[in-house]
Copies of this chain bind each other. A is one copy, B any other.
């Protein structure tokens, strides 16, 4: 399905201050960026670079006053994500080198502290895809989706304890549990068609069988029509806006619409 998606973010700054944005999706296996628009008002100088995960990052100075950032993409997406029950666990020695870093604990995914919980959850699952899917289901059933109970410092260990959070927390917990089973797992942020309520979304991917598979613990079923914007170890790596100074995000609107067939 062709989607048009975008976000409009307003910042104010009481003094010029640096900002790093990560708002330009790249074309990849399941998504082809057909059209894109990335507007800044005022048009300040920007330098774009690629981080160590391959994400495109935009570095700029927010001027004193206001900055409006408006991005839109039109993307050909896959209606269904790849699902592969039975895809086997990949022994460490056969993992591609680039996947190995996603075995390590990270800021929000302290996999080194969650091995016991992970073992309990997957006790009856076959190693690999089925374990990850069991984790996804467990999170969906046992963690309450609620706003305001977690914040930007909340980590997987806390979510496992308090059993409440938002999509970001669900993803962190899923990632941490997978890694504690030696399954590489990474965070994805992006757009999801018909997300309710509409917002930017976070989910995760796990490497089993022979590639990365999508999992989304905050949804009752695994829907396609996603646009990935950035990949990383956890939310620390994929913040869509990282600000360094007296900057306030004053407004943010996100939309995802189907493009009517012509």
Contact = CB atoms under 8 A, between A and B. Distances in A.
Interface in A226-255: 236-237, 242, 244
Interface in A35-59: 35-40, 43, 45-52, 54, 56-59
Contacts of A60: 93
A236 B50 contact: no
Chain A, interface residues (CB within 8 Å), range: 35 or more
Interface string A77-109: 000000000000001110001001101111101
A260 interface: no
A152 B112 contact: yes
A138 to B, nearest CB: 23
B244 A43 contact: no
Given A34-B39, A92-B18, A92-B20, A110 B26 contact: no
A91 B18 contact: yes
Contacts of A29: 47
A197 interface: no
Nearest to A60: B93
A237 B237 CA distance: 15
Given A104-B236, A110-B153, A152-B112, A46 B34 contact: no
A32 interface: yes
Given A54-B50, A105-B236, A35 B37 contact: yes
A194 interface: no
B32 A46 contact: yes
A59 B93 contact: yes
A48 B35 contact: no
Contacts of A54: 50
Interface of A: 18, 20, 24, 26-29, 32-40, 43, 45-52, 54, 56-61, 76, 91-93, 97, 100-101, 103-107, 109-110, 112-113, 152-153, 182, 236-237, 242, 244
18 contacts: A18-B92, A18-B93, A20-B100, A28-B47, A29-B47, A32-B40, A32-B48, A34-B37, A35-B37, A36-B36, A51-B97, A51-B101, A101-B237, A105-B236, A106-B107, A106-B236, A112-B153, A113-B153
